[in-house]
Amino acid sequence: MVDLHAHLPQLPNAGLGAGLDLLTWLDRYIFPLERRFDDAEDAARLAPAAFRTFAAAGTTTILAYGAVYKASTDGAFRAAEAHGIRAILGKVMMDRVTYDETIEPSTILERSLRESEELIATWHGADAGRLGYAVTPRFAISCSADMLRESAALAARTGAWWQTHVSEDPGEIAEVARLFPDARDYVDVYDRAGGLGSRTILAHAIHLSDRELARLVETDTRVAHCPSSNLFLASGIMPLARYREAGLGVGLGSDVAGGPDPSIFSVMQVGAYAQAALRTVGGDGRSVLAPLDWLRLGTYDGARALGLEDRIGSIEVGKEADLIAVDPRLTAARRDLPYDAGAIEAADVMSRLIFRAHPDMVRGAWVRGRRLEGPASS
Ligand SMILES: [Zn+2]
């Protein structure tokens, strides 16, 4: 399973703040938590537990944000190195609205770029490519045009990924329009910065215009679809069928803690309900995805979004054996009902794993054949 979007330091507040708008939720529940994730000790305390949590949910590859601090991001990489999960991480970059009062504002841009570059030198491609770096400007509201442009240039120069958020919430979109009056729309802000392309993962992308969608497809930019976060914060429902029809590269993200649950199975469930709502209430007549389509979104399509589909994302000869084992008996309506796995079609097994997901159903997770700590052992 590939989680294309999560925030490591936010995990302790998973499930808090349902229904708040994005900017209020950030101020109340998220920035105070990220501000405390500032040194190696904090990372040593939180990151190993976070990676065990993701592995227990069945995630074997994670693309995640740290906080703005180099020391805690470095610590998170150390934890991922030891744990064994496949991880692409990045130190958050913010120079417009930031929660780090220790940095002189006029030096934030230069310092954030330098620290990101130092982390890239240490971690990008480490352990034969199991660990990687994503240059991580938070989003357009908290980054100047200079920060966006310089961060995109750094990613291009070093071969790192570039990740940020786009078009999540109407209030956010209006604020971006106010801050970047020359840009045609939200996607254009990143386009002008040189941020679009096949090494870029944009989270959310809920409210795209036809022009924005076409531009993302044209530049081969990838999107992390985070339906549980989008409904938890009442941001909106992504028109996934329209995007897929247009040829947009999409995978799934938990967006913990915007999303309340680190499980990609749970993300699939909320995504499926959301798409059904779009069809029945929203008037979108396109067909909804079947259970095996959701499985593909959470595995192979996620790997493809990262350009890693030659190594992970499916079970094939020559790939690196990132696997999970699940016990589908736990998804039955009652534990004492007879369960004959051999008599059930794959699509039906997957349907139950999505719609009757059980917190203990992942019994093992492996990356490159090495067993990860986290899943309850059988
Ligand atoms: Zn996010």
Mean pLDDT confidence for 149-167: 98
b/e string for 243-272 if b means 16 or more Cβ within 10 A? bbeeebbbbbbbbbbbbbbbbbbbbbbbbb
CA of residue 119 to ligand 1 center, whole Å: 21
CA of residue 138 to ligand 1 center, whole Å: 8
Q: How many CB atoms lie within 10 A of CB 329?
A: 15
CA of residue 258 to ligand 1 center, whole Å: 6
pLDDT beyond 70 at 69: yes
CA of residue 332 to ligand 1 center, whole Å: 33
How is residue 250 annotated by DSSP? E
CA of residue 285 to ligand 1 center, whole Å: 29
Tell me which CATH code domain 2-305 carries: 3.20.20.140
Residue 336's pLDDT is 79
% residues pLDDT > 90 (the chain): 87
Give ion ligand 1 contacts, CB < 5 A.
203, 255
**Geometric angle at alpha carbon 292, from 356 and 246, rounded to 5°:** 120
Lookup: tokens for 221: 């930019």
pLDDT tier, 101 (very low <50, low <70, confident <90, very high otherwise): confident
The mean pLDDT of the chain is: 95
Alpha helices in the chain (DSSP H): 22-25, 31-36, 40-56, 70-83, 108-123, 126-129, 145-158, 170-179, 186-192, 210-219, 227-232, 240-246, 264-280, 291-298, 300-305, 346-355
Task: Name the more confident of 133 and 342.
Answer: 133
